[in-house]
Structure 1
Amino acid sequence: MTIDLLWPDGPKLIRDPDVFTLGTDAVLLSHFASAKRAKRLLDLGTGSGIIPLLLAWGDKRITAAGVEIQEKSAQLAKENMEINELSDRVEIITADMRHWREPKLSGYFDLVVSNPPYFPVMSGKSTDNPHIAIAREELMCTLEDICKTAAYYTKWGGSFCMVHRPERLGEAMHLLSANGIEPKRLRLVHSRPETAPSLILIEAKRGASPGLVIMPPLVLYNADGSDSDEVRAIYHR
């Protein structure tokens, strides 16, 4: 394991090569979701806890919970909160979100977020590492499971923000609407200006009327391969 600073004077992150730790996806989702200025946050499939870590670090008002099915990942998330002195505001829960229902928390959270497994089982994206396989493939939860759980915990008028793959956009929009959380904001993420999108960022609101705003695209790299100005700002460079 190693401990890295995400940026100068920023939060620390314990990295474990056997566990999914940090990817661009989680950082971009944290930035996308931070616009909501929420006070009560829930992260579904929190992994090493990077999303509640970033959001709680950036806003002292936030209290958060992260749900993770893998014990090893959940323990790493707890350690990440401890070294950043966030354990008093961020709780890590080891549970299977498909069955995790706490009536006292139903409709409680202003903001629910998720960086879920992207690939259906048997999609050809398999890996021999079981921890990474569960994080990448829908072995332990599907997109439908995520949307159902998000709808249960998001308060009326609250938001659910998710990052996913462009090829799952139609399915995601359908499942969100079917579960009473209406897609309201969509941003496409492109590696370079001339390339097709590689990720999508979606915000849906519980109980909202239909009406989707498509935001300007987020481009990660300039034509010369250098980081875009927006990415540099997101990473505090």
Structure 2
Amino acid sequence: MSSSTRIDLPVAVTEDSLLGGRVRFLQPVNGYRAAVDPVLLAASAPAQDGDRVLDLGCGAGAISLCLLARVPGLTVTGIEQAPEMRDLAERNAALNCVTDRFAPHLGRVEARPPLFEEGAFDLVLANPPYLETDRADLPESALKAAAHVEGEVPLAEWVEAAYRALRHKGRLAMVHRADRLADMLEPIQKRFGGLQIHPVYPKVGRDAKRVIVMARKGVRTPLSLSSGVVLHNMDGSYTPPIAAALDGSALAFGAPL
């Protein structure tokens, strides 16, 4: 991201940039601030021109906008329960001239149609709240709490919503904390096959802090684990694959273990 410029709207926001300036991005001063995770999910998402994509819990649109910058021929539908964040997503779509390709809607992840048509999407992306309600200290900001703490919608509901939304052989891609991998796999394995687990390591020799999990609806391919990707060199700089992804390139993971 570049340096921020504060802007006073109904929710105080800053204007930042993603992908080396290719994406202009308004986000709240006191709320969820886009970090590396949504950018890496967008960079690794198996998307191609013509795909219909659903961004569950799209927030201000970081994942959607980064994905559209890399694969322009998509159409993306966003679902976001916080009106302030949905409004920012709409502003960001206009700011980046993609209102014809990115449509954020107000609604809850677990909502049934007609919010979104069942089986209508080729790809579902999700960056769910990372913290379980009974293990989290709620932030003072309601927007930040909604982004970081599961609340009334457990992880299994995110997986179920993705399953309903996807067409046969459609794909799910989700980023989450590595220490919640078991919580992810339990509902995903009940509904999906072709699971691919990609660890994201902060540095060589450190335990993974994040995982990106991909799966397919209606297939039975066995689970695979890749060698993942390392975020930082020992001096703290980004490794070449991460630096390229943060500038807008696709992210490929290491070979299967």
TM-score scaled to structure 1, two decimals?
0.93
Structure 1 pair 8–192 and aligned structure 2 pair: CA distance change class (3 A): closer
The reply on whether 1:95 has 2:107 as its aligned counterpart is yes
Give the CA deviation at 1:103. Answer: 8.3
Which residue identity does 1:187 align to in structure 2? Answer: H
Is 1:200 aligned with 2:230? no
2:55 counterpart residue number: 43
Aligned to 1:226: 237
Shift of 1:8: 4.2
Q: Report the Cα offset of residue 42 of structure 1.
A: 0.1
The answer for the alignment partner of 1:78 in structure 2 is 90
- 94-103 or 126-135, larger mean C-alpha shift: 94-103
Answer yes or no: is the 8 Å Cα contact 1:177–1:183 preserved in 2.
Answer: no
How many pairs were matched up?
A: 235
CA distance in 2, matches of 1:198, 1:56: 26
Checking the alignment, whether the CA contact within 8 Å between 1:162 and 1:203 is kept in structure 2 is yes
- Which one-letter code corresponds to 2:73 in the other structure? R
Q: Residue 34 of structure 2: SS of its match in structure 1?
A: coil
Q: Structure 1 vs Structure 2: percent identity of aligned residues?
A: 25
Whether the 8 Å contact between 1:44 and 1:114 is mirrored in structure 2 is yes
Mapping of residues 142-153 of structure 1, within 5 Å: 142-153=154-165
- Tell me: CA distance 1:140–1:150, structure 2 relative to 1, closer, same or farther (3 Å): same
CA 1:89–1:153 in structure 2 vs 1: closer, same or farther (change >3 Å)? same
* Larger deviation, residues 164-173 vs 112-121: 164-173
Within-5 A mapping of 1:156-235: 156-178=168-190, 180-235=191-246
**Is 2:166 the partner of 1:154?**
yes
- State the partner residue of 1:54: 66
> Match of 1:105, SS?
coil
Partners of 2:136 and 2:149 within 8 A in 1: no
1:66 — aligned with what? 78
CA distance in 1, matches of 2:223, 2:15: 40
Distance 1:148 1:191, change over 3 A: same
Distance 1:75 1:105 in 2: 22
Distance in structure 1 (CA, Å) of the matches to 2:167 and 2:159: 14
Q: Do the aligned partners of 2:127 and 2:176 also contact (CA within 8 Å) in 1?
A: yes
2:32: which partner in 1? 20
The Cα RMSD (Å) is: 1.7
Distance (whole Å) between structure 1 residues aligned to residue 246 and residue 25 of structure 2: 14
Please list every run of 5 or more consecutive structure 1 residues that lacks an aligned counterpart in the other structure: none
Distance 1:86 1:103, change over 3 A: closer
Matched position secondary structure for 1:176: helix
- Which residue is equivalent to 2:255? none
CA contact (8 A) 2:199 2:211 kept: yes
Give the SS at the match of 2:209: strand
Retained in 1: the 8 A contact 2:20–2:246?
A: no
TM-score by length of 2: 0.86
Task: Identify unmatched segments of 5+ residues in structure 2.
Answer: 1-12, 249-257
Segments ≥4 residues shifted beyond 4 Å: none
AA in 1 matched with 2:215: A
Aligned-residue offset at 1:124: 3.0
